Amino acid sequence: MNGTSAPAAVPPQPLHITPAEVISEFSHHHPSVARINNGGFGCCPSSLISFQRQIQMQWLRQPDEFFFNQIQPGMLRSRNVIKDLINTDHVDEVSIVDNASTAVSIVLQHMAWGFAEGRFHPGDATVMFHCAYGSVKKSVEAYFVRAGGSVIEVPLPFPLNSEDEIVQEFRQALEKAKQSNRRVRLAIFDHVTCMPSVVIPVKELVTICREAGVDHIFIDGAHGIGCVDVDMKQIGADFYTSNLHKWMFCPPSAAFLYCRRSSESSSLHHLVVTHEYGNGLARESTWIGTRDYSAQLVVPEVLEFVNRFEGGIDGIKRRNHDGVVEMGMMLAKAWGTHLGCPPHMCSSMVMVGLPACLGVLSDEHTWKLRTYLRDKFGVEVSIYYRPPKDGEVGPLTGYTRISYQVYNKVDDYYKFRDAINQLVHDAFTCASLPNS
């Protein structure tokens, strides 16, 4: 203070991404849309789009050289990044595919071979939630049922008050299999269900499955990485897939399929067969014919992006969760409704009841209302129809699924709040919407 020598310079704190930078990274989003459906198609920041473009241009510049010298090392780098993120020891357990739907088809085709090659018997069962994602249900139909398998559906109670409700239903389904003398070859369930969206207690379900002697456990973690904790060793499943373009900022599209090392791993194959056939699924997946692999090659840069945020991906997850719960409660209060499940069972998405007077009474109503909100109010959000159960008095039949990602602002949710309040004020009902 009075002329003594200056103190040694303090090393600068690592600079975190600023709010202004975040706005800039997502400036390509439609400026006037309240984009509260990150769970639908994800998002990708501009700096990653630029990286992706560089890779695309590298290919176009000299594709042969890229094919012979760049693709394999690049894919291996991406797979190693994922391996560390999901806590598994062996990079050969990590394959990169387009999306969770592809991963599901790969695993289910493997099951179909089980029937065709006599390892499984007609009637052997798969256990899955009734609200499994559409493509998963169809994949089960196309591969498992067609090959001779049967399906046991687990109803997902909704709205929910605790994990126990889910665990009970699941136990009952396994019991049903036992009673009907059906061997359960595959249990397939979400880590975070899509619609309605809740976090499933996967670790507990895996334990129950192991106790019951289920052959294979496959977790559809489409929403997993970047949204909830994804730790392969802790979860203990045989197969786990997650999209990187939903909550992990990858450009469309990239996903990983984790396959625990086993005597069977080498007989899993990608559906699109190339000269790599027989070199292991991970290697097969790195080349499925001439295509644009750039989205799968930017994974190292994706990690750099998330690490610009305070706390990295864990910090992002925590803030997204806190943000979406806060916004969910704000909406529920404004509309006089409730959340679909307790906050600790929410991820970066939350289900909020819609006012009953809107009259969401069918799946078709959900599409129409969603379109109406998009076109008339500039709000992008998913809507869910929850059929009433026998004996229920005045249940809410319409819910919305709101998402929260780093680019969202409070105004997005106010816009939605006000839109619904407007509809209520105008005595709007879904039945009044015209047929498309």
Binding positions for other proteins, rule: CB under 8 A: 28-30, 33, 35, 37, 40-44, 49, 57, 59-65, 67-68, 98-102, 104-105, 108-109, 112-113, 116, 134-135, 138-139, 141-143, 147, 243, 245-246, 251-253, 269, 271-275, 277-278, 288-292, 295, 371, 374, 380
Q: How far is the CB of 21 from other proteins (least distance, A)?
A: 18
The answer to whether the CB of 209 falls within 8 A of the CB of 241 is no
Q: Nearest approach, Cβ of 191 to other proteins (angstroms)?
A: 17
SS3 content of the chain, % helix, strand, coil (to 5): 45, 15, 40
**Distances 402 to 34, 199, 359, 425 between C-alpha atoms, Å:** 11, 14, 19, 22
What are the φ/ψ torsions at residue 218 (nearest 5 degrees)? -125, 120
CB-wise, 41 or 414, nearer to other proteins? 41
Judged by CB, which is closer to other proteins: 158, or 249?
A: 249
Q: Could you tell me the end-to-end alpha-carbon distance of the chain, in angstroms, rounded to an integer?
A: 75
Coil, helix or strand at residue 429: coil
Q: Which is nearer to other proteins, 40 or 343 (CB)?
A: 40
Of 98 and 215, nearer to other proteins (C-beta) is 98
Whichever of 174 and 369 has its CB closer to other proteins, that residue is: 369
Exposed e or buried b for every residue in 250-272, given b needs 16+ CB within 10 A?
bbbbbbbbbbbeeeebeebbbee
Tokens 């690592």 belong to which residue?
14
Instruction: Give the shortest CB-182-to-other proteins separation in angstroms.
Output: 21
Q: How many CB atoms are located within 10 Å of the residue 384 CB?
A: 21
Query: Is 88 or 99 the residue whose CB approaches other proteins more closely?
Result: 99
* Residue 295 or 358 with smaller CB distance to other proteins: 295
In angstroms, the CA 37 to CA 349 distance is 9
Sheet holding 125-129, edge to edge: 94-97, 255-259, 239-243, 216-220, 184-190, 125-129, 150-154
Question: Whole-number minimum distance, CB 301 to other proteins, in Å?
Answer: 16
Hey, how many other C-beta atoms are within 10 angstroms of the C-beta on 80? Answer: 14
